[in-house]
Amino acid sequence: MSVLDRFRLDGGRALVTGASRGIGKAVAEALAEAGCDVAVAARTLPALRSTVAAVEERGRKAVALDGDLALPEVATGLVERAAAGLGGLDVVVLNAGVLPHGEDGAVLLEPLHRADPEDWNSVIAVNLSATAALAGAAHDHLVSSGRGSLILMSSIAGVASLPALEAYGAAKAAQLSLVRSLAVGWARQGVRVNAVCPGWTRTDMTAFATGYGALSDWLTSHVPLGRWATTDEIAGATLFLASPAASYVSGHALFVDGGITVPEIGLGGFPKPASPLAGG
C-alpha cells in the first residue's frame, strides 16, 4: 500500500454527528471522498439535506439521522440506527457541539458568577454527556470493525482559558480526558481514540465574531498564522486520524489552530489592535 493509499478508507462505514453544517459537514464530505459510506446526524432531517447530497455526489451511501443530543435518551438509539443503516461502524466522529445561547440563538457570553446554571447544564449535556453516551454506545461496533477509530471534536478551549464561556471550556477539557481514558481502555480491543482541537474556525458557531470586524481582527491577531481556519482544514486532520495513515496514533489531541496554543512571549512581534473586549 502506498503512503497516499493509507489516507483512504474505501468500504468504511462512518458516523458523523453535527453534520448539517460547519466542521461536521466538511468531515462527512472528506470521509465520503476517502471511500466511506456516512451516517450524518443533526437535530432535524431537513438540515441534513445538503450533506446527504454532498456524500452521494461522491458516490457513497448517506444515511440521515435526526435526534436532539440535549436529550439523554437519544445517543444510544442514534448509534444503533447508524450501524443498522450502514451494516456496522468503522469510524465515529463526535462533532456536535454548542456554545451557550439564548432562545433567539444568540451566543451568551456570561462569566460563571453571573451565568444561569441552566446554561451550564445545557452546554454540558450536548458537549460532554451526549459525547460520552455516544462513545459508549459505539464501543461494540468499533471493536467489531477491527479498524475502529473514534474521534472527538474538542477545541483549543480544552487547554486554554475561556472567560465567559467556562462551561464550554470545561466540557472540551473533559473530552480530552475521555479521549485519554478510552484510548488506553480500548487499545487492546483494536480501537483508536483521538481528539481534534480546532482553533478559531469560520462557521455558524463563530458568526458572532466573524461578523464583527473588530472582534474578528482581535481574535486573529493572537493566531500566529494570522487568520481563521476553514472547515476543510479541520476535516483534513480528522480524516488523517480516522485513516490507516494514523494506525499507530491513539490518545492524541491534534491541534489545528494556526499555532495559537503555542505560548507566545512577545518575540513574534505580532501587532495587536486595541481590544474590543471589556473586562469583568
Ligand X SMILES: NC(=O)c1ccc[n+]([C@@H]2O[C@H](COP(=O)([O-])OP(=O)(O)OC[C@H]3O[C@@H](n4cnc5c(N)ncnc54)[C@H](OP(=O)(O)O)[C@@H]3O)[C@@H](O)[C@H]2O)c1
280 vs 260: CA distance, rounded Å: 23
x/- contact string, 137-176, with ligand X (CB under 6 A)? Answer: ----------------x-x---------------------
| Contact status: 42 vs ligand X (CB under 6 A) | yes
Annotate 89-154 with DSSP letters as a single string: -SEEEE------B-TTS-B----TTTS-HHHHHHHHIIIIIHHHHHHHHHHHHHHHHSS-EEEEE-
Q: Please report how the helices 130-145 and 166-185 are oriented relative to each other, as an axis angle in degrees rounded to 10.
A: 20
- Single residue of 12, 13, 20, 79 touching ligand X by CB under 6 A: 20
CB of 168 to ligand X, least distance (A): 7
Residue 91 corresponds to which amino acid?
V
The contacts of residue 262 (CB under 8 Å, 6+ apart) are 224
CB of 210 to ligand X, least distance (A): 9
User: What's the angle, vertex CA 246, arms to CA 152 and CA 11, rounded to 5?
Assistant: 85
CB 194 within 8 A of CB 252: yes
Q: What residues numbered 207-266 form the site for ligand X, per CB under 6 A? A: none
* Residue carrying the nine cell digits 450502514: 86
- Single residue of 137, 205, 219, 253 touching ligand X by CB under 6 A: 205
Does residue 168 carry a catalytic annotation? yes
133 vs 263: CA distance, rounded Å: 34
Residue 210 CA to chain centroid, in angstroms? 19
51 vs 145 by CB, closer to ligand X: 51
CB 202 within 8 A of CB 229: yes
Please identify, among the stretches 6-14, 64-72, 111-119, 265-273, the one whose residues bind ligand X according to the rule CB under 6 A.
Answer: 64-72
66 vs 43: CA distance, rounded Å: 5
| Contact status: 198 vs ligand X (CB under 6 A) | yes
- Single residue of 6, 35, 68, 164 touching ligand X by CB under 6 A: 68
Which entry of 37, 78, 96, 168 is annotated as an active-site residue?
168
Query: For ligand X, how many residues bind (rule: CB under 6 A)?
Result: 27
66 vs 144 by CB, closer to ligand X: 66
57 vs 204 by CB, closer to ligand X: 204
CB of 158 to ligand X, least distance (A): 9
| Contact status: 101 vs ligand X (CB under 6 A) | no
Q: Using CB under 6 A as the criterion, which residues of the chain lie in contact with ligand X when the complex forms?
A: 18-24, 42-43, 47, 68-70, 95-98, 126, 153, 155, 198, 200-201, 203-206
Active site residues: 168
